[in-house]
């Protein structure tokens, strides 16, 4: 439990955040299919049924758990950022999503975390849902979720500010956290937008950071995280823009540096594509200034 009305669910690798007010509750993040039954058990043990299922962005590791959660909590209203539907329902994205969900389930199983169900075979976007186009507030009863659409990491990316708990659920908007080691920046849509999002999130002065993976950060660790993420982003941008080699060679170096430890839950093909995207986004803004 992170606060009076805030819990972290899921497991070490995939973090979901439950927020409860006097009238209703919301689950922020939906994880992958392999942890769906674990999350359902956690919710049942708390005797809480979420009225809102908030999808922070439409990448497979933050989306494929939605269908199972919707089956168990059919009255739950799904919440997405603008652009999430177009991204998630693209034929190529659907194929990649199912393959990656299967791979993540296999890797968790190898770590002794047995999936409670089979990987997804497809994805059906819910007919009824809330779209966050800029900002959208959800009043749970004395606890207000302020959903904000941000840019830099993914299409349809949103963060959730909970001022009552001084918490910010930001998923992967800060990057991928290797605890006690470093951040890997994940600016897949825009480097400059990513940096602007870091500035905006820091301006909220949150005491709790709800990361998507490897646990939340609190107190001084939360404060230091912004500096660490910003430094990692600038260092990666500088190294790429000053490297005269072929783009694929630079991307291969990034892949070899970071494809280890917790990041190996994902497929080599997926992370290889991520590395190439990072190189492309750096080279789109070679003269970026703070």
Output the CA angle 180-38-73, nearest 5 degrees: 125
Q: For residue 249, tell me if it sits in a domain.
A: no
Cα distance between residue 289 and residue 282, in whole Å: 12
Q: For residue 253, tell me if it sits in a domain.
A: no
Q: For residue 273, tell me if it sits in a domain.
A: no
Q: For residue 104, tell me if it sits in a domain.
A: yes
Structural domain tally of the chain? 1
Residue 168 sits in a domain whose CATH number is 3.60.15.10
- Maximum Cα interatomic distance, the chain, rounded to a whole number of Å: 58
Question: What pLDDT, on a 0 to 100 scale, did the predictor assign at position 246?
Answer: 97
Q: For residue 211, tell me if it sits in a domain.
A: yes
8 A C-beta contact, residue 87 and residue 58:
yes
Structural domain of 112: 6-233
Question: What pLDDT, on a 0 to 100 scale, did the predictor assign at position 1?
Answer: 81
Q: For residue 243, tell me if it sits in a domain.
A: no
Question: What pLDDT, on a 0 to 100 scale, did the predictor assign at position 190?
Answer: 98
Q: Distances in Å between the alpha carbon of 33 and those of 68, 69, 79, 280?
A: 7, 9, 18, 31
Question: What pLDDT, on a 0 to 100 scale, did the predictor assign at position 117?
Answer: 94
pTM of structure: 0.97
Q: For residue 272, tell me if it sits in a domain.
A: no
219 burial level (CB within 10 Å; 0-12, 13-18, 19+): exposed
Q: For residue 129, tell me if it sits in a domain.
A: yes
Tens-binned pLDDT, residue by residue, of the chain (290 aa)? 898 899 999 999 999 999 999 999 999 999 999 999 999 999 999 999 999 999 999 999 999 999 999 999 999 999 999 999 999 999 999 999 999 999 999 999 999 999 989 999 988 999 999 999 999 999 999 999 999 999 999 999 999 999 989 999 999 999 999 999 999 999 999 999 999 999 999 999 999 999 999 999 999 999 999 999 999 999 999 999 999 999 999 999 999 999 999 999 999 999 999 999 999 999 999 988 77
Within 23-165, where are the H helices?
A: 36-46, 66-72, 84-88, 91-110
The closest of 46, 40, 51, 56 to 88, measured between CA atoms, is 56
- Report CA torsion sign: 30, 32, 33, 37: negative
């Amino acid at each position: 439990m992170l606060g009076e009305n805030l819990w972290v669910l899921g497991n070490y690798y995939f973090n979901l955040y439950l927020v409860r007010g006097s009238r209703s509750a919301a689950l922020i993040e939906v994880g992958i299919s392999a942890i769906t039954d674990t999350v359902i058990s956690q919710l049942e043990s708390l005797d809480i049924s979420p009225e809102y299922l908030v999808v922070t962005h439409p990448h497979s590791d933050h989306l494929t758990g939605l269908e199972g959660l919707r089956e168990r909590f059919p009255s739950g209203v799904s919440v997405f950022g603008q652009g999430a539907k177009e991204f998630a329902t693209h034929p190529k994205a659907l194929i990649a999503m199912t393959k990656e969900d299967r791979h993540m389930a296999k890797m968790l199983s190898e770590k002794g975390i047995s999936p409670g169900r089979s990987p997804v075979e497809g994805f059906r976007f819910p007919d009824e849902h809330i779209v966050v186009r800029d900002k959208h507030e959800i009043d749970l009863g004395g606890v207000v979720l302020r959903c904000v659409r941000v840019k830099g990491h993914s299409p349809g990316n949103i963060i959730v500010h909970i001022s009552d708990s001084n918490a910010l659920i930001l998923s992967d908007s800060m990057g991928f956290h290797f605890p006690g080691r470093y951040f890997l920046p994940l600016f897949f849509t825009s480097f400059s937008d990513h940096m602007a999002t870091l500035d905006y999130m820091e301006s909220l002065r949150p005491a709790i950071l709800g990361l998507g993976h490897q646990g939340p950060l609190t107190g001084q660790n939360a404060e230091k995280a912004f500096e660490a993420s910003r430094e990692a982003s600038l260092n990666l941008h500088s190294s790429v823009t000053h490297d005269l080699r072929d783009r694929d060679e630079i991307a291969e170096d990034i892949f070899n540096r970071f494809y280890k430890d917790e990041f190996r839950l994902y497929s080599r093909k997926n992370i290889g594509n991520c590395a190439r995207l990072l190189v492309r986004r750096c080279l789109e803004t070679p003269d970026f200034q703070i």
